[in-house]
Structure 1
Amino acid sequence: MSKDYPVPSGYLERETEVKKSRFIARVYPVSTRDEVRERVASAHQDYPDARHVCWGYQIGRPGSAAEAAMNDDGEPSGTAGKPILNVIQHKDMGDVLVIVIRYFGGIKLGAGGLVRAYAGAAESVLSEVGRVVQQARVQAQVGLGFADEQPLRHWCEGHEGNIEAIDYSTRVSALVSLPVIRQSEFAAFCEAQKLDYRFET
């Protein structure tokens, strides 16, 4: 299922230091809770001696996420997971997990200092990670004559369409995928060419 909202383009890691405490922030694109669990488990494996591995994520459309959660991993309640999640929510990005790994440097930061440090670490990766938007797409089944195949291919090339499958029997049948925003243009093209078409629901 393609998404018409920004998601992280890939994995990124950044490190910040606050009063000798190291904060290692990682951002990942995620689409399931299982992926979140795997990424958090791998952070624990990569940094087995870290004092805290805190995280926040949201899956789904920014502003109306299907799922969001956070974890303070032993930091005082609300000083780690919540600031991480707040930064994610302000970035207008979906399907995103941020993990912040902390090595304690011997100087206590206090609740306000922790909030600022975790928010700053999350900001450091989220401001640098690339964004990708996959436009929502729709599929259409098209029945056409052999002479109509070239015009159909030509239309697809000019309108971000893809011919996903094509079958030649007495007539040609094609499965076409195209951006939802091109749906009415495609319908007009098919009607002008007298092609049979129906959109998959």
Structure 2
Amino acid sequence: MNYLTISESAKDSFIEKRSEFIGYIAPVKTNNEAVAFINTIKAEHRKAKHNVYAYILREDNISRYSDDGEPQGTAGVPVLDVLKKRGLTDVCVVVTRYFGGILLGGGGLVRAYSHAASLACDAAHIMDMCLCHRLKITADYGMYGKISYLLPNYETITVNSDFGSDVTLEILVLSEKLEALKKELTEVTGGSADIEDCGELFEDFSSVKKNS
């Protein structure tokens, strides 16, 4: 259910035997968004010999690629393979090639396009999108210490804190840890905390998982 994607566009490039390879990556959610991104890069690099692409979407489980004039199987498939191996979805990669006059051969092309796609992925911020619940916890100040001591055990993310007449915390908790957290919150506050479940959603937990 959880998935990996990227937060924003990124790019990187390298030169192999006088050919320049520029890898671009962008977050896309629909087929139209992917095509629009590909067309933008193509328009930017009209003089390039090739604009190879691959993309994977969660919507309808779509994955597509194009060799854009390179020998079949030497460009689009290697780029798609990089995305699959990294487990990325809702992303599109375009690799632009400016031909330098020296042929790379089939194996050389596969390595070059794979490397360009990998560089683009490395340049992007990867988000670990997890199914979670947004909880609104309201309690008196006497309970705040107990609550804040408890939350790190459940890898929660605090999205809002309001210190008014009571303390109100809005947090994200992974769906699989929801019931256990609610139970323990009720226990440590003696049932005095008001716990409101604001619904289920996908959010980025990469920072929490990196530190855990």
Return the alpha-carbon distance in structure 1 between the equivalents of residues 195 and 68 of structure 2.
Answer: 58
Output aligned runs, 1:62-73, within 5 Å: 66-73=61-68
Return the alpha-carbon distance in structure 2 between the equivalents of residues 40 and 11 of structure 1.
Answer: 12
Return the alpha-carbon distance in structure 2 between the equivalents of residues 86 and 24 of structure 1.
Answer: 17
Return the alpha-carbon distance in structure 2 between the equivalents of residues 152 and 200 of structure 1.
Answer: 24
Count, aligned residues: 185
Return the alpha-carbon distance in structure 1 between the equivalents of residues 128 and 58 of structure 2.
Answer: 13
Does the 8 A contact of 1:21 with 1:105 survive in 2?
A: yes
Does the 8 A contact of 1:190 with 1:197 survive in 2?
A: no
Secondary structure of the residue aligned to 1:193 is coil
Return the TM-score normalized by structure 1: 0.72
Residue in structure 2 matched with residue 160 of structure 1 by the alignment: 157
1:9 is aligned to 2:45: no
Does the 8 A contact of 2:133 with 2:197 survive in 1?
A: no
- Kindly state the Cα deviation for residue 67 of structure 1 after the two structures are TM-superposed: 2.1
Superposition misfits of 4+ residues, deviation over 4 angstroms: 139-142, 148-157, 161-164, 194-201
Residue in structure 2 matched with residue 91 of structure 1 by the alignment: 86
Structure 1: stretches of 5+ with no match in the other structure: 165-173
Q: Using the TM superposition, name which of 28-37 and 148-157 deviates more.
A: 148-157
CA change 1:152–1:29 in 2 (3 A) is farther
Residue in structure 1 matched with residue 209 of structure 2 by the alignment: none
CA change 1:48–1:156 in 2 (3 A) is farther
Does the 8 A contact of 2:182 with 2:195 survive in 1?
A: no
Equivalent position to 2:124, from 124, 129, 136: 129
Residue in structure 1 matched with residue 28 of structure 2 by the alignment: 30
Identity %: 26
Equivalent position to 2:97, from 93, 98, 102: 102
RMSD: 3.4
Does the 8 A contact of 2:135 with 2:195 survive in 1?
A: no
Does the 8 A contact of 2:55 with 2:80 survive in 1?
A: yes
Once the two structures are superposed, residues 45-85 of structure 1 have per-residue CA deviations (whole angstroms, 9 ceiling, x without a partner) of 11111111111122239xxx922111111212111100101
CA change 1:197–1:20 in 2 (3 A) is closer
Equivalent position to 1:52, from 42, 50, 54: 50
CA change 1:199–1:22 in 2 (3 A) is closer
- Kindly state the Cα deviation for residue 28 of structure 1 after the two structures are TM-superposed: 1.6
